[in-house]
Structure 1
Amino acid sequence: MRRLTISVDNALADAFDELVKKKSYLNRSEAFRDLVRKELGDAELEDSDSSWCVGTLTYVYDHHARQLANRLTEMQHNHHDIVVASQHVHLDHNNCLETLIMRGRANEVKACAHAITSQTGVHHGNLHIIPVELSSPSTRMATKF
């Protein structure tokens, strides 16, 4: 492991210390490593849409919208290679929440997510993707750490 030394102004150091405390990190180094990992992962996904990723798509939709539930299910089946699991929750009489677990190339995961969240009656869609490295193309994915 290498040691890095950085200098920051007092206000930034104080704000960082508050973040460390708020997120219950044991020390600044762990918090810093997480921030760097996140930024590197985001940069990797921006630089290459063909990078492999896993992701979650969470959205709320109006379950009374005409044929929407059927369209959403059909879209998930049409992308069975990307959508590997789903969870459905009834929020109230009109609204349902679904969370999809997805995997594949980033551009394909993003396209599938956008196709789903752009449906009329879908509200508050949010995609969270994490870059991963395949241990082999035909087997499970192994996350880079």
Structure 2
Amino acid sequence: MTITIYKLESTLERFTISLSDELAADFDQWIEARGYSNRSEAVRDLLRKEVETKRLNQDQTIYSVATFSFVYNHHERNLAERVTGHQHQAHDLVVSTMHVHLDHDDCLETLFLRGLTQQIRDFADKLSAETGVRHSALNLIPVKVAALHYAHHAHFHPHS
């Protein structure tokens, strides 16, 4: 399966906005702190984020890739087994996992997920609700699924 991030613009359109001196100064500090070279790119990134957030909230048939990270105490009664069980039940969503031992008791797990946005959210909610799971965070990125076959050098490569 090949995936690409939505491309929101194909041509650029110029427009003007007016800001108070205080808001403009705050925005310029924000731009500098994040390393943007100009206001335009910063505004484009902010708009993209808002558009994607709205799309994710309104259209649950959108495909997404995601990271879901959480901390848990591996000594919690059968929690590690329950977490692993949820991952196996959702094997169609879970692409990969990374497990980090934070200390003697706590582990950080990051899951890389791919699928329908609502299914990813439901899965993350189920894991977050497990007793002993804490500090969970889901980061969704909407994508469109490209063709499963494409041409290179006049011959085809199947992809799954």
Q: TM-score, normalised by structure 2?
A: 0.84
Tell me the CA shift for residue 136 of structure 1: 3.3
Residue 109 of structure 1 and its aligned partner are, at CA, apart by 0.2
Is 1:29 the equivalent of 2:29? no
Aligned to 2:30: 19
Tell me which residue corresponds to 1:143.
none
Asked whether 1:66 is paired with 2:51, we answer: no
- Give the distance between the partners of 2:147 and 2:39, measured in 1 at CA: 35
1:115-137 residue CA offsets vs partner (Å, 9 max, x unmatched): 11110010111111111111137
Matched AA of 1:128: N
Match of 2:130 among 107, 119, 124: 119
Ranked by relative contact order (alpha carbons within 8 Å, sequence separation 6 or more), the top structure is 2
Matched residues, percent identical?
A: 43
Post-superposition CA distance 1:18-65 (Å, at most 9, x none): 111000011111111110110000000011112111111010001001
CA distance in 1, matches of 2:29, 2:60: 35
The structure with the largest alpha-carbon Rg is 2
**What is the aligned counterpart of 1:85 among 88, 96, 101?**
96
Paired residues, what number?
140
Counterpart of 1:105 (choices 116, 128, 149) is 116
Q: CA RMSD in A?
A: 1.4
Question: For residues 61 and 111 of structure 1, what CA distance do their matches in structure 2 show?
Answer: 19
In structure 1, how many angstroms separate the alpha carbons of the residues matched to 2:148 and 2:84? 26
Q: TM-score, normalised by structure 1?
A: 0.92
Partners of 1:116 and 1:20 in 2: CA distance: 36
1:133 pairs with 2:144: yes
Deviation at 1:17, TM superposition (A): 0.4
Give distance in 1, aligned partners of 2:140 and 2:52: 9
Q: Distance in 2 between matches of 1:99 and 1:52?
A: 19
Q: Give SS of 2:136's match.
A: strand
2:134 aligned counterpart, secondary structure:
strand
User: 2:135 is paired with a residue of what secondary structure?
Assistant: strand
